[in-house]
């Protein structure tokens, strides 16, 4: 027992400054944590809230055919109004989202969206040099 006490005393005598430095660092760390209100907690994961995410299904868009449903339904009722609506579409991507519009190139080189389907433009189909329906060229 005497050797244990003597050995412990020799150890503390030899490593006194290193022990004090470690104690000082730990004390400063504790002061920092306390002054900045930092708490270290062992948190076990737990369920906070269960959320159900449902797919967005628009009544106006047919995801299977990638076309606009409401637009096509209106075009079945009134092709003249449909032609006016198709003409408001200014780019080929938007025009091709409908089963009721085709993108045409007239003989003067102008491009526009008009009423049509997979058979071509509804009005004056022979007056166009090139007709695209859903990004595929139609040969008339």
Q: Is residue 13 part of a domain?
A: no
Q: Is residue 48 part of a domain?
A: no
- Three-state DSSP class for 5? helix
Q: Is residue 6 part of a domain?
A: no
| Distance from C-alpha of 101 to C-alpha of 132, rounded to nearest angstrom | 9
pLDDT at res. 64: 58
Q: Is residue 80 part of a domain?
A: yes
pLDDT at res. 27: 96
> What's the domain range around 75?
61-138
Single pTM value for the model: 0.50
Where residue 28 falls among pLDDT bands split at 50, 70, 90? very high
Range in 1-5, 33-37, 81-85, 86-90 the model is least confident about: 1-5
Cβ proximity of 113 and 89 under 8 Å: yes
pLDDT at res. 63: 58
pLDDT digits (tens, 9 = 90+) for 96-114: 777 888 889 888 888 888 8
Q: What is the 3-state secondary structure (H, E, C) of 65-104?
A: CCEEHHHHHHHHHCHHHHHHHHHCCCCHHHHCCCCCEEEE
Q: Is residue 11 part of a domain?
A: no
Q: Is residue 56 part of a domain?
A: no
Cα dihedral angle (12, 16, 22, 23), rounded to 10 degrees? Answer: 80
Number of domains in the chain: 1
Q: Is residue 77 part of a domain?
A: yes
Percent of the chain topping pLDDT 90? 15
Q: Is residue 98 part of a domain?
A: yes
Instruction: Please determine, for residue 60, whether its predicted confidence score (pLDDT) is greater than 70.
Output: no
């Amino acid at each position: 027992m005497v050797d244990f006490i003597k050995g412990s005393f020799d150890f503390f005598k030899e490593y006194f400054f290193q022990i004090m430095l470690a104690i000082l660092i730990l004390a400063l760390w504790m002061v920092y944590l306390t002054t900045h209100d930092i708490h270290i907690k062992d948190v076990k994961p737990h369920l906070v809230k269960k959320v159900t995410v449902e797919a967005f299904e628009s009544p106006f868009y047919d995801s299977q055919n990638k076309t606009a449903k409401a637009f096509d339904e209106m075009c079945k009722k009134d092709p003249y109004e449909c032609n006016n609506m198709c003409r408001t579409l200014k780019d080929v991507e938007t025009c091709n989202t409908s089963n009721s519009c085709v993108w045409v190139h007239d003989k003067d080189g102008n491009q526009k969206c008009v009423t049509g389907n997979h058979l071509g433009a509804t009005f004056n189909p022979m007056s166009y040099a090139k007709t695209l329906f859903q990004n595929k060229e139609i040969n008339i």
